[in-house]
Structure 1
Amino acid sequence: MIDIRSFDSLGKFRIDWLNAKHHFSFGEYHDPSRMGWGALRVWNDDEIQPQTGFPPHPHADMEIITYVRNGAITHEDSLGNKGRTVAGDVQVMSAGSGIRHAEYNKEDELTRIFQIWILPDQRGGQPRWDAMEFPKGENAGKLVVLASGDPDRDGGLMIRADAKVLGATLKAGQSVSYTPEAGRHQYLATTAGVVEVNGATMNARDGAAIRDVETLTITALEDAELVLTDTR
């Protein structure tokens, strides 16, 4: 099963500093058929204007992965963590028993991010934040693990969930394949470019809910960048 969800069909939210598209129900956008996909609960496609951002606010019991597509995001939280994550890199916040954080675009250019929320395997726990650089060459032409519930095995940043978040950049004509375990849920979104997913076409910033596929083959019809999640 591969359910392509066009960018135009996504939920919409816009104010002066934020232009957001929601792959799943979020905030004022509610679609009973799009409440999540397995343990994946939120996938937001956010554009944040320069010198603005999300002011301090709380979270608990959620694994929040931020993939920066353009520009940079600056994180601050109630644990005293501060960090700037640039395009192509990733940050992870395990909200655990509770944390307050802010995410600002302190740049002079538009910042674009994917904000991905995955339900943890267990509630509570010590909140934490981490970030990692992923040099552009590392994910060229292959899927690279950005975050995982087992980073010692898979690489990437640690999340407290039986899940993986992977990324790839493909030149036109290149393909990557992924073989999921039976019964799991995959969700794919492209940041740029047009790809074929087992023969189905995805345009830039489309999403695809995937399940019960023995092998997932993604072929770039033009230069493309993509992010894939695999959850229980």
Structure 2
Amino acid sequence: MNTFLHRSEDRGHVQAGWLDTKHSFSFGSWYDPKYMGVGSLRVINDDTIAGHNGFGTHPHDNMEILTCVLDGTISHKDSMGNEGHINAGEWQLMSAGTGVRHSEMNQGDKAVHLLQIWVIPNVKDAEPNYQQIERDPKKAPNEWLLIAGPNDNAPMHIRQNAEIKAAYLEKGHTLEVKATQMFNYVHVIEGEIDIAGQTVKAGDAYLFDEDATLSANENSQFIWFDLTN
């Protein structure tokens, strides 16, 4: 069994004025060759954005960019004509494809907490696409909620042979992970869980390739990335 425990304290931490961010994998000014991603999963940035600040208009291409808002509201605007708000409990998937320009701004007074997740697509130079859903695991605890997948019946369609699922597991409850693909990577947002006898805390992640039982030592929220490559 191939396993790896990625501790929170091993993430890159960048404090740049209005942005306080922790990088699970090498990104921007923080680089560590040990942390370059897992398969097609390239970025997990844990961002806290101060009020009346954010990411001004900038370009991306050929990347599946998923935003998970945990607390607060972020405002989005892009060159595809999409403009609106992403609230806590909502998810946005922007398939950059041939190229898109966008901004993500905190227009309120309070800080916004979110995850920025990038997945390398298996299709190059496709038409850009935008999707947004409300799917809060705290409203449906103790079960997996599919967020994005490669099939059209997924809540959001991602251009990669991967499934992204989220859960909020109450203390004492368990969930099963069925290892259908090459990599299972569980990133803990809050709380503490056990995976196959390994304690995984908030900010930690665990990589494994076999079926496993997840049990909550306290109320916990996490994301499961089910990846072929």
TM-score with structure 2 setting the length: 0.94
Q: Would you say 1:207 and 2:208 are equivalent positions?
A: no
Residue 143 of structure 1 aligns with which residue? 144
Instruction: Work out the CA distance in 2 between the residues paired with 1:108 and 1:76.
Output: 19
Q: What 5-or-longer segments of structure 1 have no aligned partner?
A: none
CA displacement at 1:226 relative to structure 2: 0.6
Instruction: Work out the CA distance in 2 between the residues paired with 1:41 and 1:172.
Output: 31
Describe the superposition over 1:70-105 as per-residue Cα deviations: whole angstroms up to 9, x where unpaired: 112211101110121111211000000000011111
CA displacement at 1:205 relative to structure 2: 1.6
SS at match of 2:77: strand
Residue 97 of structure 1 aligns with which residue? 98
Question: Which letter does structure 1 place at the counterpart of 2:121?
Answer: P
Q: Which moved more, 1:201-210 or 1:115-124?
A: 201-210
Instruction: Work out the CA distance in 2 between the residues paired with 1:62 and 1:54.
Output: 17
**Contact map agreement 1:95 1:128 (CA 8 A) in 2:** yes
1:151–1:112 Cα change, 3 Å? farther
Instruction: Work out the CA distance in 1 between the residues paired with 2:22 and 2:53.
Output: 18
1:21–1:137 Cα change, 3 Å? closer
Question: Which letter does structure 1 place at the counterpart of 2:80?
Answer: L
Q: Which runs of structure 2 are paired with 1:178-189 in the superposition (5 Å)?
A: 178-182=177-181, 184-189=182-187
Question: Which letter does structure 1 place at the counterpart of 2:168?
Answer: T
CA displacement at 1:61 relative to structure 2: 0.3
**Contact map agreement 1:169 1:226 (CA 8 A) in 2:** yes
Q: Would you say 1:161 and 2:160 are equivalent positions?
A: yes
CA displacement at 1:216 relative to structure 2: 2.4
Describe the superposition over 1:123-181 as per-residue Cα deviations: whole angstroms up to 9, x where unpaired: 101111110011456541111111111141xx321111111111000110111112122
**Contact map agreement 2:189 2:222 (CA 8 A) in 1:** yes
Instruction: Work out the CA distance in 2 between the residues paired with 1:69 and 1:138.
Output: 13
Instruction: Work out the CA distance in 1 between the residues paired with 2:73 and 2:176.
Output: 29
**Contact map agreement 2:184 2:227 (CA 8 A) in 1:** yes
SS at match of 2:172: coil
**Contact map agreement 2:137 2:166 (CA 8 A) in 1:** no
Residue 214 of structure 2 aligns with which residue? 218
Residue 40 of structure 1 aligns with which residue? 41
Residue 135 of structure 2 aligns with which residue? 134
TM-score with structure 1 setting the length: 0.93
SS at match of 1:8: helix
% identity of equivalent residues:
33
**Contact map agreement 1:88 1:134 (CA 8 A) in 2:** yes
Q: What 5-or-longer segments of structure 2 have no aligned partner?
A: none
1:135–1:67 Cα change, 3 Å? closer
CA displacement at 1:57 relative to structure 2: 0.5
Equivalent pairs, count: 227
Instruction: Work out the CA distance in 1 between the residues paired with 2:139 and 2:159.
Output: 24
